[in-house]
Amino acid sequence: MRYYIYIIALFLFFAGCRQHQPKNSDIKLQKPWDIRVCKMYSSDFVLLDPSEKGQLIQEFRFNRNGFVNELIRYGMDGEIISRFDISGENTPFPLPGKPQFVDTVLTVVNFDSLGIVVGKEVKVYSPKGLIVEVRFYEGENQLIRKNTYKYNTQDMILEDVYWDVDLDRPKQKIRYEFEYFKD
């Protein structure tokens, strides 16, 4: 009898979920991303000058479907040091509306062969499913690295900040600038 109750409860749950799904006529077709280029700038002296723009270190070039088709890396002098043609359907950025974890703290603990904690990684996700912080620990509690992330209103990444954990201040900032296709 208990199994029948479980089956009926599952049926009612899925039937209720199905009623709340939008009809095909209600769904707007999403236009592919309009990003043409994403340029990444690195500011290694953000501790001394928080407003420093930084140096162009690499750029991703996208096709009209929103997938990366070229990666360009720049040297210290601003000259191109390498180019990579990329084919396939890949993008370095998470697609809006497809979060991995929502409003979650995910902790991964690494143990040695004796079961002693040798390291820990803690990832914090926003209610929108965007990663907002990653902390790396040696052992259980010694913080050795920390990164934070900022996004714009379209949930595209704006900054990736590497922290000096001893001073609790940013030491390096990676900024992202986007250029879009014009129709």
pLDDT in tens, 41-88: 998 776 677 677 889 999 999 888 778 889 999 998 889 999 988 876
Separation in Å, CA 23 to CA 19, 20, 26: 9, 9, 5
36 and 88 belong to one structural domain: yes
Selected residue with higher pLDDT from 51 and 117: 117
Is residue 54, in this structure, part of any structural domain at all? yes
105 and 147 belong to one structural domain: yes
39 and 127 belong to one structural domain: no
pTM above 0.75, yes or no: no
Is residue 109, in this structure, part of any structural domain at all? yes
CA distance 142 to 135: 10
Domain that holds residue 85: 30-93+172-183
**What's the pLDDT score for residue 94?**
61
Query: Which residues does 83 contact at the CB level (< 8 Å), separation at least 6?
Result: 70, 71, 72, 73
80 and 111 belong to one structural domain: no
176 and 89 belong to one structural domain: yes
41 and 86 belong to one structural domain: yes
52 and 82 belong to one structural domain: yes
Cα distance between the two ends of the chain = 62
Q: Can you say how many angstroms the Cα of residue 157 is from the centroid of all Cα atoms in its chain?
A: 7
102 and 146 belong to one structural domain: yes
Is residue 36, in this structure, part of any structural domain at all? yes
Is residue 3, in this structure, part of any structural domain at all? no
Under 8 Å between Cβ of 132 and 126:
yes
35 and 89 belong to one structural domain: yes
53 and 84 belong to one structural domain: yes
72 and 127 belong to one structural domain: no
User: How many independent structural domains does the chain possess?
Assistant: 2
User: Residue 19, class by beta-carbon neighbours within 10 Å (0-12 exposed, 13-18 middle, 19+ buried)?
Assistant: exposed
177 and 144 belong to one structural domain: no
Is residue 8, in this structure, part of any structural domain at all? no
CA distance 143 to 120: 9
Q: Look up residue 39 and give its amino acid.
A: K
CA distance 45 to 72: 23
| 27 pLDDT more than 50 | no
Mean pLDDT over 102-120 rounds to 85
- CB count within 10 Å of CB 73 equals 14
Is residue 102, in this structure, part of any structural domain at all? yes
